[in-house]
Structure 1
Amino acid sequence: MASPPRRSRLRRTLLAALVTASVAVPVSGAARPAAVPAPVPAVLAPLRAATPAALAERYTANRDGIRAAERMAVGHGDQKRAAELRVMAGPARHFLSFDGRDGGRTAEVFGDLSRADRIAVLVPGADTSLDSYRRLRNDAVALRRELGGRSAVIAWLGYETPATLSPEALTSGRADAAAPGLRTFVRELSELKPAARTSVLCHSYGSVVCARAASGLKVADIVLYGSPGTGVDSVAAMHTGATVWAGRGGNDWIADVPHVKLHLPFVTVGFGTDPVSPEFGAKVFAAGNGGHSDYLKPGSLSLKNIARIVAGEAESEGAPGGRHA
């Protein structure tokens, strides 16, 4: 762990980077690699009306869409994307939605959604796309195994995530665009499974997405981990009836990101109050000594405690594992 003087220097350096990036945001127009083409997704019946048979049909339709996207990726000459899609189209995979355009949008189910009475929706952070999807999938698989029984985990890649080293990762623009889609998805999920206990788990920049969507999420828990901040100053400002939890691993570099919010002429940079600080008002859960990508690592304390929150086993005992990350 960095010494206090070193942390102070690092925070000043990061603050300078925030200011520099804030100037770049309104004028940035750097060229991006050409998008890998993909077909327009099939129009599907609303999720809220899906019977078990309709869910199976939905999975089949999305599998067909993934295979079509794979063929287009091959034709485009992107063998890496094609290989990822080939794996995703496997017969044991269950996608509630799939859109291969513009980096990709997916919602994949792990577990039997039709029988689940505990549901977790994973909202990922920066640098998550079809090309890096396996990391999100591995997290979902680990959580589903930890929960066991009548549970389902949904990996929701429902928005264009920012690159970690980009101006977009320092502002709420991508989160503002993502929030309506997350609200709609969770609403349809709650209509499909009204008796299930549903939680949203929000990693890194995904915490900003969840905070933007919070007032419209009918869920039991909102869990923030590895968060740079949320863009709001407190749990009260999220206007949610859910229990809000926060955790941070002891070796997570996000702790050194300045928790500031700078209001500049064209943009607001930074996300404000640290979610694990007392003034934010979240219930803090112990997250062990893991790094930024280790929260759902098999065998980790953070995975165990997040699973307890999803299962509703932490409510009567307060923050699982103690009140400090």
Structure 2
Amino acid sequence: MAPLPRGDRRAPSLDRADRATRAGRPGRVRRTVLAALVTAAVAVPVAGAARPAEVPAPAPAATAPLTATEPTALAAQLDARYAAGRTALRAAERTADAYGAHRRAASLHAMAAPGRQVLSFDGRDGGRGVEVVGDLARADRIAVLVPGADTGLDTGYARLRSGAVALHDTLRDEFGARAAVVTWLGYRPPATGSAASLTPGRADQAAPRLRAFVRELRNVRPDARITLLGHSYGSVVCALAADGLPADAVVLYGSPGTTFDRAADLRARAVVWAGRAAGDWTADVPHVGLTLLPGTELGFGADPMDPAFGARRFAAGDGGHSDYLTPGSVPLRSLALITDGREPARA
């Protein structure tokens, strides 16, 4: 398994392996966990290669950043961006269809349907997309959903968008909020069980893009409440992006860890929340972070649900790893309450 390089970010003052040693964790236990993690990485052959990441797509046209703060002017800018997104989707659909990637073409066709609001799209390297549910120009509650492993244009994205619709509708119907929910597939999530899923490498690459996107949202909606919600590997992305981020809350749910020992180490201005459903398999993930080579790590460190981590813990029900945004569920209501600035039931 080739190690992935770490990106540039501020880290806690002590190396994680040094901290583990100073805390008295036996080296034999660390080596055993390392062996188990590496075995898991190689025991799922071609997990990453099975994803259709190499489907060709044309480069999208450059788009202007959002700058207007007045709702009518912002709505006009958003409409132009949605039109550009639809154009990029249709071009990528034609290319995928000609290539023989008919499943990809069908996914892109659905995303380009009338009424869908795709803020940005790039079909290359597996595909990146940012989609809005609701009226972003007038929203005073904005949720940004950051997905985890196995979420791509062909698999997982439909579930992600359905969850965004469920969260938006809960905010609107139960709390009367003017809400917008954004699905941020701004990076290439790893495949579950792949080597990439066991390291923070892709999260390091994604974090600056997520940080820039949230800052753009804050610039155009300065008075809105912005909540960042990271699921599974997406929680690692959110944690790495949190340093100084102009958000009001960062929510880590179904998280394998964040690479940090404590919530305070995220250096977030936002309140940090954590939740895990009773049936979520991430409770059984070894919560260690091992330095293999300088600048290369394996694992994600402390469990955000550990009281010592210091996050506020919310009730997440009895479901499984993929059930947090199920309509009518306990975790969906908790996430909606946090997004609306209210207190959820505590875990």
Q: Same fold (TM over 0.5)?
A: yes
Kept in 1: contact 2:103–2:154 (CA 8 A):
yes
Kept in 1: contact 2:53–2:126 (CA 8 A):
no
Distance 2:280 2:34 in 1: 18
Deviation at 1:17, TM superposition (A): 2.6
Deviation at 1:13, TM superposition (A): 8.7
- Does the residue aligned with 1:279 lie in a helix, a strand or coil? helix
Of 286, 291, 297, which aligns to 2:315?
Answer: 286
Aligned residues: 304
Distance 1:34 1:280 in 2: 36
Deviation at 1:22, TM superposition (A): 7.6
Give the structure 1 partner of residue 324 of structure 2. 295
Aligned letter for 1:277? D
Give the structure 2 partner of residue 249 of structure 1. 277
Aligned letter for 1:217? L
Of 274, 277, 281, which aligns to 2:306?
Answer: 277
- Alignment of 1:38 with 2:95, yes or no, is no
Give the structure 1 partner of residue 22 of structure 2. none
Of 147, 153, 159, which aligns to 2:171?
Answer: 147
Of 255, 262, 265, which aligns to 2:290?
Answer: 262
Amino-acid identity (%): 62
Kept in 1: contact 2:94–2:105 (CA 8 A):
yes
Kept in 2: contact 1:14–1:257 (CA 8 A):
no
Deviation at 1:32, TM superposition (A): 7.4
> What per-residue deviation string (whole Å, max 9, x for no partner) do you get for residues 150-207 of structure 1?
1000000000111111011111100000001000000001001001000000000011
Of 148, 170, 189, which aligns to 1:125?
Answer: 148
Aligned letter for 1:298? P
Deviation at 1:16, TM superposition (A): 3.6
Kept in 1: contact 2:148–2:233 (CA 8 A):
yes
Of 89, 112, 119, which aligns to 1:96?
Answer: 119
Deviation at 1:34, TM superposition (A): 6.5
- Alignment of 1:53 with 2:53, yes or no, is no
| 1:112-191 matched pairs, under 5 angstroms | 112-132=135-155, 133-148=157-172, 149-191=177-219
- Aligned CA distance change for structure 1 residues 161 and 37 (closer, same or farther; 3 Å): same
Give the structure 1 partner of residue 7 of structure 2. none
Aligned letter for 2:302? T
Give the structure 2 partner of residue 6 of structure 1. none
Aligned letter for 1:145? D
> What per-residue deviation string (whole Å, max 9, x for no partner) do you get for residues 264-310 of structure 1?
23631111110011110000000000100001111110000110000
- Aligned CA distance change for structure 1 residues 277 and 31 (closer, same or farther; 3 Å): closer
> What per-residue deviation string (whole Å, max 9, x for no partner) do you get for residues 204-239 of structure 1?
001110111111411000000000000000011101
TM-score normalised by L of structure 2: 0.83
Deviation at 1:19, TM superposition (A): 3.9
Structure 1 segments of 4+ aligned residues over 4 angstroms from their partners? 12-15, 21-24, 29-34
TM-score normalised by L of structure 1: 0.89
- Does the residue aligned with 2:119 lie in a helix, a strand or coil? strand
RMSD: 2.1
Distance 2:280 2:52 in 1: 30
Kept in 2: contact 1:15–1:258 (CA 8 A):
no
- Alignment of 1:304 with 2:323, yes or no, is no
Q: Which blocks of at least 5 consecutive residues in structure 1 are unaligned?
A: 1-11, 315-319
Q: Which blocks of at least 5 consecutive residues in structure 2 are unaligned?
A: 1-30
- Alignment of 1:74 with 2:97, yes or no, is yes
Deviation at 1:14, TM superposition (A): 6.8
- Does the residue aligned with 1:46 lie in a helix, a strand or coil? coil
Distance 1:108 1:264 in 2: 37
Distance 1:40 1:98 in 2: 10
- Aligned CA distance change for structure 1 residues 216 and 75 (closer, same or farther; 3 Å): farther
Deviates more, 1:201-210 or 1:41-50: 41-50
Distance 1:199 1:144 in 2: 13
- Aligned CA distance change for structure 1 residues 305 and 30 (closer, same or farther; 3 Å): closer
Distance 1:321 1:296 in 2: 16
Kept in 2: contact 1:22–1:268 (CA 8 A):
no
- Aligned CA distance change for structure 1 residues 220 and 98 (closer, same or farther; 3 Å): same
Give the structure 2 partner of residue 108 of structure 1. 131
Give the structure 2 partner of residue 4 of structure 1. none
Aligned letter for 1:95? V
Distance 1:34 1:313 in 2: 40
Deviation at 1:57, TM superposition (A): 1.2
Deviation at 1:23, TM superposition (A): 9.2
Distance 1:290 1:239 in 2: 31
